């Protein structure tokens, strides 16, 4: 599918919108870079100034997007597109559709609420860093309460305009048109299917030899060098991005300056290495977006569920495959000076395929991970609709973990303080993680169908065929299609749980 289009005449309504959204895209890049810096390198004494900078830029962006003339230009451009002469091709028409969507989201929220939410998010994120380090949830309650108040107001404002549930209005900001009516049946199916599967896998593991531990220490410099080498093998362009360290791994930055982060533990390299592959999947998506539509809405990634699918297909589907782990084993021994049975591919697969009922989401295996997301989705819905007060979050978290996974966190650092999302205002994000896992499984099954030599390529450490396939079917399409249409076009089936469940039983039970 080509991304070529006729140039937008600057004197038309659509042409004027293109120019405005190009400026908005540049503002987004500035916000993304400043936010990356705030989470990686910002001196503690500069936090208040950075909060003011980000709030100012976000308000400026909001004003540019919601200026009175924008709605007039959208109306005029849509009228032109609907005329018999029809001046827009398919890509431009999709761009106009996405412009309208972004305008509706922005226009629903008053500028003063945008500023208040931005300041509340910045203050709460700073408080969370200290509270997490000190295991002191009470220290973050005042600022978290302000964040929740702002997010409830944002949700209510959008819900009133869109005519939907407030929580659905927040979901739509991360995954367009996603509602709990779609999410709930999928999550309900997983809630029924995965617990007995987890029990079966745990029984198989208990009857098999336990994985041998890899003895450290594992120097950070060696971990970083190996991580960057794998990023290069996956196709990451270091001329347009970089790897850094943060408290919570993420991928951000700007359109042609993709910043990703990880965190290192010299006693255990396994989490950091897979974290790098995970964030590289996000980065490859950003670097593969259509350059012809840079800074235009249609040139952006198609929602966070699709984004999560790209990180998971690199980390989980490919990066933890037996073929790739076999390739990786000798590189690990070379990087860390290991030797003996613990460093053999068979043991490495046991380590990376180990399943358990753990406390930490980012370290969870594929089978137990959805339970972590179901819990967070329940809790953030309760926070938004007022059924749960922020101060009561720790107790609700402990109860939910006991119910869903049979474990209880001994402290809040390994409980409700472990994730940054709520403390920076990202309500409605969590469901996209498990939806992304479903998409990733479905995409990888289709890639295996279309690329018979894919296992051999991964066994050679070659991500090229897979990433090229993803670029053609996902990355290069930007937001040209709604996510459900994109998934169906690439895989030949509507989104469901079947491919994910098949993947789990094949990998963990050999069935």
| Residue in the block written with tokens 């119910």 | 403
* Phi, psi for residue 140 in degrees, rounded to 5: -100, -10
Give CA angle at 146 (141, 151), nearest 5°. Answer: 120
Structural contact between residues 243 and 228, judged by C-beta atoms closer than 8 angstroms: yes
Rounded to whole angstroms, how far apart are CA atoms 329 and 170? 43
Coil, strand or helix: which one is 254? Answer: strand
- Which stretches of 298-435 are assigned E, i.e. beta strand? none
Coil, strand or helix: which one is 212? Answer: coil
Coil, strand or helix: which one is 250? Answer: coil
| Pairing relationship of beta strands 241-245 and 257-262 according to DSSP bridges | parallel
Provide the Cα torsion 502, 372, 355, 436; round to 10°.
40
Structural contact between residues 440 and 316, judged by C-beta atoms closer than 8 angstroms: yes
Coil, strand or helix: which one is 457? Answer: helix
Rounded to whole angstroms, how far apart are CA atoms 307 and 309? 5
Rounded to whole angstroms, how far apart are CA atoms 124 and 121? 5
Q: Name the residues annotated as catalytic.
A: 279
């Amino acid at each position: 599918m080509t991304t070529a289009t006729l140039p937008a005449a600057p004197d038309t309504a659509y042409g004027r919108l293109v120019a405005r959204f190009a400026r908005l895209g540049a503002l987004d890049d500035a916000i993304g870079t400043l936010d990356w810096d705030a989470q990686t390198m910002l001196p503690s004494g500069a936090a208040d100034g950075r909060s003011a900078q980000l709030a100012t830029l976000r308000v400026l962006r909001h004003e540019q997007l919601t200026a009175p003339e924008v709605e007039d230009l959208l109306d005029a451009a849509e009228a032109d597109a609907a005329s018999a002469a029809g001046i827009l091709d398919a890509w431009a028409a999709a761009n106009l559709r996405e412009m309208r969507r972004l305008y509706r989201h922005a226009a629903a929220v008053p500028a003063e609420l945008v500023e208040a939410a931005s300041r509340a998010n910045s203050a709460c994120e700073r408080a969370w860093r200290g509270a997490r380090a000190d295991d002191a949830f009470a220290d973050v309650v005042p600022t978290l309460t302000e964040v929740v108040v702002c997010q409830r107001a944002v949700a209510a404002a959008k819900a009133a305009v869109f005519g939907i549930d407030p929580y659905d209005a927040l979901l739509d900001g991360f995954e367009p048109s996603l509602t709990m009516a779609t999410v709930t049946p999928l999550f309900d199916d997983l809630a029924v299917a995965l617990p007995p599967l987890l029990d079966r896998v745990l029984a198989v593991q208990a009857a098999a030899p336990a994985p041998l531990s890899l003895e450290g220490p594992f120097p950070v410099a060696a971990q970083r060098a190996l991580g960057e080498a794998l990023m290069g093998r996956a196709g990451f362009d270091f001329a347009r991005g970089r790897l850094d360290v943060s408290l919570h791994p993420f991928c951000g930055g700007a359109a042609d300056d993709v910043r990703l982060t990880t965190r290192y533990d010299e006693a255990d390299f396994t989490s950091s290495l897979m974290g790098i592959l995970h964030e590289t999947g996000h980065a490859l998506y950003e670097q593969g977006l259509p350059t012809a539509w840079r800074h235009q809405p249609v040139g952006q990634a198609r929602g966070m569920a699709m984004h999560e699918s790209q990180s998971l297909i690199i980390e989980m589907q490919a990066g933890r495959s037996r073929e790739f782990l076999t390739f990786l084993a000798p590189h690990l021994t070379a990087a860390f000076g290991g030797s003996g049975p613990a460093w053999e591919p068979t043991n490495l697969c046991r380590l990376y395929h180990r399943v358990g009922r753990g406390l930490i989401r980012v370290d969870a295996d594929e089978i137990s991970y959805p339970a972590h997301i179901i819990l967070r989705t329940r809790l953030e819905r309760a926070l938004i609709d007022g059924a749960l007060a922020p101060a009561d979050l720790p107790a609700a978290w402990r109860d939910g973990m006991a119910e869903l996974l049979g474990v209880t966190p001994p402290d809040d650092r390994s409980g409700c303080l472990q994730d940054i999302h709520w403390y920076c205002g990202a309500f409605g994000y969590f469901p996209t993680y498990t939806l992304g896992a479903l998409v990733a499984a479905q995409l990888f099954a289709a890639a295996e169908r279309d690329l018979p030599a894919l296992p051999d390529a991964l066994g050679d450490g070659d991500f090229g065929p897979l990433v090229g396939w993803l670029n053609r079917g996902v990355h290069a399409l930007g937001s040209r299609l709604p996510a459900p249409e994109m998934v169906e076009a690439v895989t030949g089936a509507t989104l469901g749980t079947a491919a994910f469940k098949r993947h789990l039983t094949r990998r963990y039970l050999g069935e």
